[in-house]
C-alpha cells in the first residue's frame, strides 16, 4: 500500500539554524513526492515536488531529494527564518487516476529570533 511516515515534531529552532524534517514512504509503483506547507490560518500550499528518483525539488531555500533506495524525501533548509514557522506535510501521489494523495501527519516548525 501507500503511506507516508513523517518526523513528529514539534520542532523549535533559532533563526539561521539548519533544518531537517525526515520523511519516508512506502508506495506501489513510482509515486510523485511533495512537501506542502501550511501557514497559520491558511490552506496547504505546495512547497516543492519531485516526480522521479534522484530528482531534487527546491523552492524558497528548501530542498528535498527523491531517494528511491532509502524511500525517503527529507526536507532541508540551510538557514531558517522566523517567517518559515508553519506546519510542513510530506505527501505522495500514486500519480495515476484519481488516487488519493497520501499525507504524513505534519511537522510544526517554530523559528525563534
How many contiguous H segments (helices) and E segments (strands) does the chain have?
Answer: 0, 12
CB of 83 to other proteins, least distance (A): 19
C-alpha cell at 5: 511516515
Binding residue for other proteins, selected from 49, 62, 65, 111, defined by CB under 8 A: 49
Binding residue for other proteins, selected from 3, 18, 20, 46, defined by CB under 8 A: 46
Element (H, E) at 38: strand 32-38
CA atoms of 44 and 51, how far apart (whole Å):
19
Binding site for other proteins (CB under 8 A): 6, 31-32, 34, 36, 42-46, 49, 51, 89, 91, 93-95, 97-98, 100-101, 103-106
Amino acid at each position: 500500500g501507500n503511506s507516508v511516515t513523517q518526523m513528529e515534531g514539534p520542532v523549535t529552532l533559532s533563526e539561521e539554524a539548519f533544518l531537517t524534517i525526515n520523511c519516508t514512504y512506502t508506495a506501489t509503483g513510482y509515486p510523485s513526492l511533495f512537501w506542502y506547507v501550511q501557514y497559520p490560518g491558511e490552506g496547504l500550499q505546495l512547497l516543492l515536488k519531485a516526480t522521479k528518483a534522484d530528482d531534487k525539488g527546491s523552492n524558497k531555500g528548501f530542498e528535498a531529494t527523491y531517494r528511491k533506495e532509502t524511500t525517503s524525501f527529507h526536507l532541508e533548509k540551510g538557514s531558517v527564518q522566523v517567517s518559515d514557522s508553519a506546519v510542513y506535510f510530506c505527501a505522495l501521489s500514486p500519480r495515476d487516476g484519481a488516487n488519493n494523495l497520501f499525507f504524513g501527519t505534519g511537522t510544526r516548525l517554530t523559528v525563534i529570533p
